[in-house]
Chains A and B, each alone.
Chain A
Amino acid sequence: MKRYISMFILIVVCFLLQTTLFQSLQIANVIPNLLLVLVAASGFMYGRMMGMCSGILCGLLMDCLYSNVIGLGILMFVIIGYINGMANKLYFKDDMSIPLSAIVISDFIYGIMYYMFNFMLRGRLDFVSYFKGVILPEAVYTVIVGVLLYKFLHWLEDKMYPPVEIPLEITGVSTEEE
């Protein structure tokens, strides 16, 4: 429960930051997709359900304020959350490479879906230029911010649920530092 509440607050804060503060921190004309990082991270760290829940919230926020139709954003974010939730088994806290590549892949999927729904259907077919102009820079910037966000999420997780040291009896490997 604590997790859900903290994620809710985080998403709202990140949404506010993304729509205001980060507009003035643009690099190469793009802003990082913080909400996507949160959806991907919650899916990846806590499983499919959590991923979908944050997906719904993020999508709802974006749709209600900035989209013409409600539902499209929710759909895209929920799919991202679910896909990342499927990779939950690969989650291992100390390894940053997998979650970061998950963010990149998620951002590509999000970008491609956004392009398909909002641009391709209107006859804007020059995918390569959209890929170079928006999707790629956004992914790079998002990953950089994603690293920091992930560090914060791990720190938060440790605060909320301090790791319990389990003495390992059967295997000889010890998790404790010597």
Chain B
Amino acid sequence: MRKRTKVTIDPKYILIVIVVICVALIFVSFKFEDKMAPLRSVVGNAVTPMQRGINSIGAKISEVMEYVTSLEKLVKENNELKEEIDSLSAENKLLQQDKYELENFRKLYSLDEQYAGYPKVTARVVSSDGDNWANSFIIDKGSDDGLAVNMNVMAGDGLVGIITKVNKSYSKVRSIIDDASSVAGTFLKTSDSCFVSGNLQLANQGIIEITDIDGTADIKDGYAVVTSQISNKYLPGILIGYAKDLKKDSTNITQRGYLTPAADFSKLNMVLVITQVKDSEDLEEMLDK
């Protein structure tokens, strides 16, 4: 027979106590976020180094797994790809024209200087969110490396997300495909403003929503959307992605559509953190006037 520990309190009451404590904790951490920071950093500092280690092993394993499982697929894919190359090379020429055009437009909006002028820091993605509901991840740089909350995070040339929490040696990034994320954007070509908001239902397809575009805006699928001047957290002019499936709302006053992000969220290893926080106080002052 198993020995029972001699606890005389009914677990029922312990459950009630825990529930009460949890509810209190929720309120406390909601009201006084700073007060909970020490607890977070104790756990985080202990866990993130281990995660970093395992993550590198995991990356290797998934590489090997991919290699083994995809061998058959690769042969088939190879044939398909060869066919695709032909069509792509044709498309590429078109795109190059587009790129030239895009560069022109960047110069026009004098975004080019700003874009290259932002000071950046490279960081490695340590771990991703532990559940299937949110899209956030941890990077291996923190306040010691000069990072702060609200700094913008990019991968390649596209916006990835924003830092929502900073600790000494690591920080948490909420990606723009997260359900709670919403970014004020603007169409590069027409300067029409819009909102780019993540949506869990679409996240798996790798697309996000754009809403609140002016109904009269002359926009087409494939137009680039960048972060807007009016955003109070995102620096202006960072490429978010390309619009698609645009259509009028039933009210005819606004348009909505989807957006393919410029950053590849399925394979995030290294990200760039722009170590410049948007000074939104100026903006708020301006808005008050």
Question: A82-B15, A130-B200 are contacts. A70–B127 as well, Cβ < 8 Å?
Answer: no
Q: Do residues A49 and B130 form an inter-chain contact, with CB atoms below 8 A? A: no
Question: Taking the complex as formed, is B117 at the interface, i.e. its CB lies under 8 A from any CB of chain A?
Answer: no
Determine whether A114 belongs to the interface, using a CB cutoff of 8 Å to chain B.
yes
Chain A residue contacts of B136, Cβ below 8 A = 66
Q: Output the nearest chain A residue to B174 by Cβ-Cβ distance.
A: A68
Q: A29, A85, A129 — which one has the most chain B CB atoms within 10 A of its CB?
A: A29
Q: Which of B26, B55, B61, B200 is in CB contact (< 8 Å) with A72?
A: B26
Question: Which positions in A face B, CB cutoff 8 Å?
Answer: 12, 15-21, 23-25, 29-31, 33, 35, 47-49, 52, 56, 60-62, 64-66, 68-72, 74-75, 78-79, 82, 85, 114-115, 118-119, 122, 124, 126, 129-130, 133-134, 138, 161
Closest to B125 in A: A23
B229-258 interface with A by 8 A CB criterion: none
B103 touches A (CB below 8 Å): no
Separation in Å of the B14 CB from the closest CB of chain A? 6
Q: Distance in Å from the Cβ of A21 to the closest Cβ of chain B?
A: 4
Q: B43: which A residues are within 8 A, CB to CB?
A: 60-61, 64-65
Residues of B within 8 A of A20 (CB): 51, 54-55, 58, 126-128
Number of interface residues of B (CB under 8 A): 52
Instruction: Tell me whether A52 and B14 are in contact (CB under 8 A).
Output: yes
A15-B47, A20-B55, A65-B138 are known; give 18 further A-B pairs, CB within 8 A. A15-B130, A19-B127, A24-B62, A25-B62, A65-B130, A66-B129, A70-B29, A71-B28, A75-B18, A75-B23, A114-B133, A118-B134, A119-B179, A119-B200, A122-B180, A130-B200, A134-B200, A161-B2
- In the assembled complex, how far is the CB of residue A30 from the closest CB belonging to chain B, in whole angstroms? 5
Chain B 35-74 against A: per-residue CB contact (8 Å), 1 yes, 0 no?
A: 0100110111001001100110111011001000000000
Name the 3 nearest CB pairs between A and B, nearest first. Answer: A71-B25, A24-B62, A21-B58
A-B contact count (CB 8 A): 144
**Which B positions have Cβ atoms within 8 angstroms of A?**
2, 5, 7, 11, 14-15, 18-19, 21-26, 28-30, 36, 39-40, 42-44, 47, 50-51, 54-55, 57-59, 61-62, 65, 126-134, 136, 138, 164, 172, 179-180, 200-201, 204
